[in-house]
Structure 1
Amino acid sequence: MQIEKNKILDRAHKKPILLDTFYSEKFSNQPIVIFCHGYKGFKDWGAWNLMAKSIAEAGICVIKFNFSHNGGTMENPIDFPDLEAFGNNNYSLELDDLNDVINWATKTFKDNPFVDINNLILIGHSRGGGITILKSSKDERIKKLITLASVCDFSKRTSTIGNLEEWKKLGVKYVINGRTKQQMPHYYQFYEDFKANEKQLDIEAAEKQLQVPHLIIHGNNDTSVSINEAYTLHRWNPKSKLEIIEAADHVFNVRHPWDKSTLSNELQTVVSLITTFVKK
């Protein structure tokens, strides 16, 4: 197994991106899966490393990364020392980050005999699911899409966060991070960017326009993103495949930190669904 952790993607006039790659040398022409974390998430959260290794062992190259403005740094990708970056994050930046990661992947693995750069799949968790839906509807390089506990609407999450007038007046509002207890800022630019790019950030329109197979996975015990959002995505795109994981919560019954050497039964089911979908 070839695993490289914390590779730095430097970009001109942009914040760098931290990436991990996993692939097996037992298979040739492996598809590439790029994993996008969710809100207040990061690539090393919980069992994501174990999940990536499990997928890679099945003969699939896995790339996961931290969005450039997720609040982590190159030196500390786990916690959120860069709250200024977090406050300046927005959906447009995340779409741009993902595009740069795709470009990096196709360039990095171009001559690698174990990897097929023409077979590219996106996986997005939670808010990252919304990002991958938007990207998959526009980028012909992407051949399949998998969303885990995905949101189906950015509008209601952006417009209804607290009092808009107060947010505009103060220029910032804060959310508590349950794990680190930090007060995490959202600058008003987040709302302004959404309104300026509302058409391009319409998940419903993107889902209806999807030309690639879409696997929708959701737990029926998810209290963070309602299972109704999975049903809604499936309704918008009846060709999609919907899989409900019984008794699974928003993170498929794993936690951070995850010190066990095995996945939860629910996340193992997710991995099995992913590998079957990617390889068929």
Structure 2
Amino acid sequence: MLTQQHIVINGKHTKPIVMDVTYPENKTNLPIIIFCHGYKGFKDWGAWNLMAKQFAEAAYCFIKFNFSHNGGTVEQPIDFPDLEAFGNNNYTKELDDLESVIDWVFNNDDIKAITDPNNLSLIGHSRGGGITLIKAEEDNRIKSVVSLASVSDYARRMDALCDLEAWKQNGVTYILNGRTHQQMPHYYQFYEDFIANEERLTIKRAVLNLKIPHLIIRGNDDTSVLIDEAKNLHQWNPNSELIIIDGANHVFGASHPWEKEVLPEHLSDVVKKCIYFLKTK
């Protein structure tokens, strides 16, 4: 039997962090995985809940959460009712959110009673992959990290977001969410925060200095994050392991909403490869 707890903790930037914790009952000393969603994502997107259950069935405590400024709320954690929060999000806030979740793991007596906090791994998807890599390099509590369809360069995405001069002049730029049809704002503070923290937010710098086991997984049919980004990560950290899944797309066959009771084949394969990696490193 599995248990899933829904928990709200305080973030460092006025907004709460909504998360859930999935684990097998009557087990102790469980290794911990913290999962970070990607851009325009959330913890309950698509098949992430089924993924959490598959990890828990393999005797992990699996924690996934919404970044505090991802656009969701405590009352409505799915999709983006709070576009003002979304517009005020940035990479350093996401790093702070992840740190808050890690701190909670180490300070919560109930979780400590069933887990081994000294066996903590991070898994990040897409933009969340970059966040986990930066945090894994700077926080020695993290013992291994997995990059799923991860980006390798935030600066390049910043430049591609829009015309910087127009962004500065207008104070905001908008990106269409093709699924929800919302015009999603990015306030200019996003760029200002990146420039102010560019060294820290350079994924290449973090990966070059990474000293823990690192697994890179991506599909060769990913049109959102090109395969060269995975190859860059592997080149910067030759001790990493690179797995390319033939035919897999950016979300490994999942979609939102996901109404089937089983994982898509490619995502199920991803979970199996992650479990093998984490148990053998």
Relative to the length of structure 1, the TM-score reads 0.97
Describe the superposition over 1:119-161 as per-residue Cα deviations: whole angstroms up to 9, x where unpaired.
1100000000000000000100000000100000000111231
Q: 5+ residue gaps in structure 1?
A: none
**Counterpart of 2:269 in structure 1: which amino acid?**
T
Q: d(CA) in 2 for partners of 1:26 and 1:152?
A: 39
SS in 2 for 1:137: helix
CA RMSD of aligned residues (A): 1.3
Query: Superposition pairs for residues 138-149 of structure 1, below 5 Å?
Result: 138-149=138-149
Q: Give 1:5 deviation, angstroms.
A: 4.2
Task: Give yes or no for the alignment of 1:136 onto 2:143.
Answer: no
Q: Which runs of 4+ in 1 moved over 6 A?
A: none
In 2 relative to 1, CA 108–178 (structure 1 residues): closer, same or farther, beyond 3 Å? same
Q: d(CA) in 2 for partners of 1:163 and 1:111?
A: 46
Amino-acid identity (%): 59
Alpha-carbon contact 1:25-1:114 (below 8 Å) kept = no
Q: 5+ residue gaps in structure 2?
A: none
Q: d(CA) in 2 for partners of 1:11 and 1:68?
A: 7
Which residue is equivalent to 1:30? Answer: 30
Q: d(CA) in 2 for partners of 1:45 and 1:210?
A: 29
Alpha-carbon contact 2:120-2:142 (below 8 Å) kept = yes
Describe the superposition over 1:84-133 as per-residue Cα deviations: whole angstroms up to 9, x where unpaired.
00000000000000000000112225664431011110000000000000
Which residue is equivalent to 1:210? Answer: 210
Query: Superposition pairs for residues 62-73 of structure 1, below 5 Å?
Result: 62-73=62-73
In 2 relative to 1, CA 42–111 (structure 1 residues): closer, same or farther, beyond 3 Å? closer
Which residue is equivalent to 1:262? Answer: 262
Relative to the length of structure 2, the TM-score reads 0.97
SS in 1 for 2:143: strand
- Number of aligned residue pairs: 280
Q: d(CA) in 1 for partners of 2:171 and 2:137?
A: 33
Alpha-carbon contact 2:29-2:115 (below 8 Å) kept = yes
Q: d(CA) in 2 for partners of 1:19 and 1:223?
A: 29
Query: Superposition pairs for residues 1-280 of structure 1, below 5 Å?
Result: 1-11=1-11, 14-25=14-25, 27-109=27-109, 112-280=112-280
Q: Give 1:14 deviation, angstroms.
A: 2.2
SS in 2 for 1:78: coil
Q: d(CA) in 2 for partners of 1:142 and 1:110?
A: 20
Q: d(CA) in 1 for partners of 2:152 and 2:12?
A: 32
Q: d(CA) in 1 for partners of 2:142 and 2:238?
A: 19
